[in-house]
Amino acid sequence: MLTRKQQELLSFIDTRLRTDGVSPSFEEMKDALQLRSKSGVHRLINALEERNFIRRLPNRARALEVLHLPEAMRGKPALKLVPPAAAHAAAAPRPPVQAMIAANDTIIVPLHGRIAAGLPVEALESDRSLSVPAALLGPGDHYALEVSGDSMIEAGIFDGDYALIKRCEDARDGDIVVALIDEQEATLKYLRREKNIVRLDPANSAYEPQRYPANRVRVQGKLAGLLRRYH
């Protein structure tokens, strides 16, 4: 069962695809549903995708396909959402679109701070954010951390990089995860399990693996991507 906002977004996407032949941008979806940020659109898109109502076409940032509509929406007039501020422009005819258009949509994710700050991720909550290309993120809830130090350089993760993290509470052996130790210190490492021991492996031969009883380590997410700035 879909929420009201999920139904509204699905109907809006379906309407645009039928009338224009192109899916709306994240900015258009945000305005149409009167959401405060595009991260809200991203969560709705992920929910619809996980329920197999839509799918993203590969290699395109702005390409959605409606797979099917819920029974409750079938046969009903298409819902066209118009934000109040744009109502005066709603009557203006749209030029015909001849082909699917790709756009560089971005997602706004919270930026929680530096991974080696010695604090749990929850303690790093702030009003800072980072604009991330939508194509870098798959389904799920994400946040960003600024990498501090050189313990993962052999995995291509350098000091000052932005690690894009998918929130989760579990991961497979070999995943690069944000591990919280004793609810105090967060670190970015490879996850390995040895019976009742969790081993956190660096990607730098100058550092030794860290081993802890499993009850002292909590996974707070796994690496989904990286952003790097060149100065």
What does the alpha-carbon distance between residue 62 and residue 20 come to, in Å, rounded to a whole number?
A: 14
CA distance 68 to 73: 10
**Cα gap 209→218, rounded to integer Å:** 17
Cα(11)–Cα(223) distance, rounded to whole angstroms? Answer: 33
Classify the C-alpha dihedral 113-117-121-122 as positive or negative. Answer: negative
Q: Which two tokens stand for residue 96?
A: 């015909």
189 as an active site residue: the answer is yes
Which position among 30, 38, 166, 189 bears the catalytic label?
189
Amino acid at 178: V
Q: Quick one: 49 exposed, middle or buried, by C-beta within 10 A (0-12, 13-18, 19+)?
A: middle
89, with CB counted inside 10 A (0-12, 13-18, 19+), is: exposed
**Is residue 1 exposed (0-12), middle (13-18) or buried (19+ Cβ within 10 Å)?**
exposed
Set 151, 166, 205, 222: catalytic member: 151
Enzyme catalytic residues: 151, 189
